[in-house]
Each structure stands twice: as C-alpha cells, then as structure tokens.
Amino acid sequence: MNELNFHHLRYFHTVAHEGNLTRAAERLNVSQSAVSTQIRQLEQQLGQPLFERRGRSLVLTEAGRIALDHADSIFAAGEELLNTLGERPSGQKQILRVGSMATLSRNFQIGFLRPLLGRDNVEVVIRSGTLRDLLQNLEAHRLDVVLANTTPPRDAATPWISHAIAEQPVSLIGKPAMIGERVPFEELLAHKPLVLPTIESSIRSSIEALFDRLHIRPRIAAEVDDMAMIRLLVREGAGLAVVPPIVVKDELENGRLVEIERFPQLSETFYAVTLSRRFPNPLLRELISNLAA
C-alpha cells in the first residue's frame, strides 16, 4: 500500500507557505538540497508536479494548491489534537455540540448557552430529539452535552452525570382578558380552559395531585409536550397555561400575558447531562464552571 509520507508533506507545506527554498530550509534548519529532495519524492509519490519555478520563486501548480489545502487541514488537525489531549488552549475555532430535548424551552436553552454566543472562535451546534436518541449520541461522543428537564436512569453501564443548572417555578399564565378581576386561583383552575403539559412531563403529576387535593375536575383545552406550542396556544387565548414563566418571558415583559399565580412547592428542574470523560470539551467545562460560580 502506497502511504503518504508526512515528513515529505511537512517540507512541502513549509515551502508552499514560504514561497522560497532558501527561507523554507532556514525555517526547517536543513539544507536546500534536502528540501528539494523531499519535494521531489513527494511529487513522485503523488504523480504530479507541485511547483513551477518563476524566477527565484516557486509557484504552486493546480495539483500543488489541492495538496496545500489538504496539508493545511492535516497539520491544523494535528495541532488541535495536541492541544486537546494536552489540555492547552487552541487557536482553532472551538465547537460545542449540544443535544436538546425537542420539548425544552428555547429561552432556557439560550440562557444556558449565552456565555458562548457571539464569540468569533466558537461555533455551537444544536440538535434536538428525544431523550433516548440524544443520550445515544452523547454516549457515542457525537454530542458533548444533553439539555433536559428530567434525569435519565443511571447505572454502571451508563454513568450519566446530571448537573442541575436551573430550577424554575411553575405558574398559571394567561391573557389578561381571560382572567377577570379578583377571581380566586382555585376558581380559575376549576372553570377556565387549561393548557397542560402531557402526562410524561416532570410537572404533570404534581399538577394532578393538586387538582385531587382541591377536588377540581379541570377543563383541559390541550395537552402539549412542546413548550413552544404551549406558548403559542396561550398567546392565542386557547386557555390558561401551566408553565414555567421563562417559557413566555417576552410576553410577560410586554404585557401580552400575565402571571396569575405561582403553584406552591412546584418547580421544574433543568439539567445538563454529560458523561465522565478524560478530555472534556473545554467550552462545556466553562459553562458548567459558570454555574458553580
């Protein structure tokens, strides 16, 4: 098998960027003849001329430009590997791959990622899906972190680490026109149409227990597993929503919706789920450290 000689490639890479054999030889601390020999051997291996001489300068051929693009990527990846495993800062763009449950509040996601947004050297990749699919991708190292509002089952085979990153109260939210004046909280729950999270939600069982204690048979207008859809329904006046206020933060601030009352002893906890890794993504480490500060 004809394998690429990376020693030859390093010489080529240096000459291509210097544009001159003399400067390249000085930088590599070898003789010009040694550099020329390495370049010729690489050209023989690739079967293409990589340079053409113009006066005292060497100019890349078409094949040389293609080879240089690959060489740049190869040596940049090598430097990134050394930086990652050596836990050193890198000059390359850093990427954080985030998995987020499709039902999770967008406002919460933005709040968690805000310290990284807008940085020139950072790219955030966000993928949504079911918790099961996201955890599989986390375990396969295709994701760095999964954002969820429930903790996944933990055992010796899948030692998830669930960082509690936020705890939000749960409130009854609605359009001002639907509320009226001085209507008791319990009466609103009993007589107004409600938009509730589905039975799989972490807060639904607590809501059901409250209805039972108050002997309320709620008028359920909709059961929704997507916080973004709950936000739209309550904005349209489909009912009063049982939801963390962060989900409708903008509407509360501009007065389009109002927070009627917070449910006692009821909250929703958000988690950043990770795996224990020897070389964690430094961007994730920064976000988790900010939470502890």
The β-bridge relationship of strands 240-243 and 160-174 is antiparallel
For each of the chain's 293 residues, which pLDDT tens digit applies? Answer: 467 788 888 999 998 888 888 888 888 889 889 888 999 999 998 888 998 887 777 888 888 888 888 888 888 777 767 766 765 555 567 789 999 987 788 888 888 899 998 888 888 999 998 888 999 888 877 888 999 988 887 776 677 889 888 888 999 999 998 887 778 889 999 999 999 998 878 788 889 998 999 899 999 999 998 888 999 999 999 999 999 998 899 999 999 999 999 998 888 888 999 988 766 788 888 888 776 55
Whether the Cβ atoms of residue 163 and residue 288 lie closer than 8 Å to each other: yes
The rounded distance, in Å, linking the Cα atoms of 11 and 71 is 10
The CA distance from 50 to 146, in Å, is: 46
Q: Which residues pair with 164 in a beta bridge?
A: 271
Whether the model pTM is above 0.95? no
Q: Which residues contact 224 (CB under 8 A, 6 or more apart)?
A: 195, 196, 197, 198, 230, 233
169-266: same fold as 94-166+271-292? yes
In whole angstroms, give the CA distance from residue 145 to residue 162: 10
Indicate the fold that domain 6-85 takes in CATH. Arc Repressor Mutant, subunit A (1.10.10)
Contact criterion met (CB below 8 Å) for 277 and 259:
no
Pair of tokens at residue 134:
């996201």
Q: Which of 3.40.640.10, 1.10.3210.10, 3.40.190.10, 3.30.70.580 would CATH assign to domain 94-166+271-292?
A: 3.40.190.10
Q: Where exactly are the structural domains of the chain? A: 6-85, 94-166+271-292, 169-266
Domain 169-266 = CATH 3.40.47.10: no
- Cβ-based neighbours of 58, under 8 Å, separated by 6 or more: 15, 19, 20, 21, 51, 52
